[in-house]
Amino acid sequence: MRQFAEELRHARLAAGLSQARVAAAAGLSQRTVSRYEAGAPPYPNVLQAARVARIVGLDLWIQCFPAATRLRDAAHIALIRRMLMRLPRIVGRRLEAPVRPGDQRAWDVLLMIGGVHVGVIAETRIRDLQALLRREQRKQLDGNVDYLVLLVADTKNNRRALDEARPVLTEAFPLGTRAVMAALSRGVAPSANGVAVL
C-alpha cells in the first residue's frame, strides 16, 4: 500500500492533476484520494485502486507468488527429478532458488554451469503459455540468469499447447529438447533459452 500510495501521488503530480479532479473522475471524495496517497486505512479495494491508477495514467497489476512453504505435487517433483537425473554432478543446482534476495518468486531449479546461470521452470500442465512466457522472461531480467529452460511434462495436452504457440515460442525459446538436454547432459550451458519436453 505504501508503494501504491507513493506511485499514485507521483503520477498525479506528473499529470498535473489535483486530488479533487482525480476524485471527481473516480466518483470518490477528495478526502478519499488524499487517504489513498497517504497509504492510510481504510484501503481501496482492487477496483477502486485500478480506477484511480488509470485516471493518473497508471495500470494496476496484481500478481500472486507461491508461498515459501508451498507443497509441490508428485508429478512436478517427478518432472524435475527426470531432468536432474540426466545431468552430471559437475552441474551445480539449487531447488526453489529465489529470483533475487527478498523476492517471493523462485526458479524451480537454478543450474550453475561454470559462470553461467540457467533458470529452470517446470510445468506439468500448460494452461496459458503466453502468460507463462511473459512472467518467466520478466523473472529472467530481474534475476540476472543467462538462460531459461522451460521444462515441460511430455503429455498430449502440453505438446498441443507447444505446437499451437510454436511461432511465438521459438522466438523466445529457440532451442528444442534435443539441443537443451544434449548440452546439459555434457555439463555445458545451453547457447540460448530452450524448451525441454521430458
The answer to whether residues 161 and 150 touch, using CB atoms and an 8 Å cutoff, is no
The answer to whether residues 193 and 147 touch, using CB atoms and an 8 Å cutoff, is yes
Class of domain 74-197: alpha beta
Coil, strand or helix at 89: coil
Answer whether 2-55 and 74-197 agree in fold: no
Fold for 2-55, please state it: 434 Repressor (Amino-terminal Domain) (1.10.260)
Burial class of residue 128, CB neighbours in 10 A (0-12, 13-18, 19+): exposed
Angle (CA) 98-114-181 rounded to 5° is 80
Kindly state the cell numbers that stand for 189: 550451458
- According to the model, what pLDDT value does residue 139 have? 87
- According to the model, what pLDDT value does residue 133 have? 84
The answer to whether residues 82 and 32 touch, using CB atoms and an 8 Å cutoff, is no
- According to the model, what pLDDT value does residue 136 have? 87
Kindly state the cell numbers that stand for 156: 498430449
Coil, strand or helix at 110: strand
CA distance 120 to 109: 5
The answer to whether residues 196 and 174 touch, using CB atoms and an 8 Å cutoff, is no
Using alpha carbons, select from 141, 65, 76, 144 the residue that is nearest to residue 110: 144
CA distance 1 to 141: 25
The domains of the chain are located at: 2-55, 74-197
CA distance 14 to 8: 10
Q: What phi and psi, each to the nearest 5 degrees, are found at residue 189?
A: -70, 145
- Pairing of the two strands 106-113 and 147-152: unpaired
Please state the pTM of the whole predicted model. Answer: 0.66
- According to the model, what pLDDT value does residue 194 have? 95
Using alpha carbons, select from 101, 100, 97 the residue that is nearest to residue 110: 97
Residue-by-residue pLDDT tens, the chain, 198 positions: 888 899 999 999 999 999 999 999 999 999 999 999 999 999 999 999 999 999 999 998 886 655 554 556 788 899 999 999 999 999 999 998 888 888 888 899 999 999 999 999 999 998 888 888 888 888 888 888 999 999 999 999 999 989 988 888 888 899 999 999 999 999 999 999 999 999
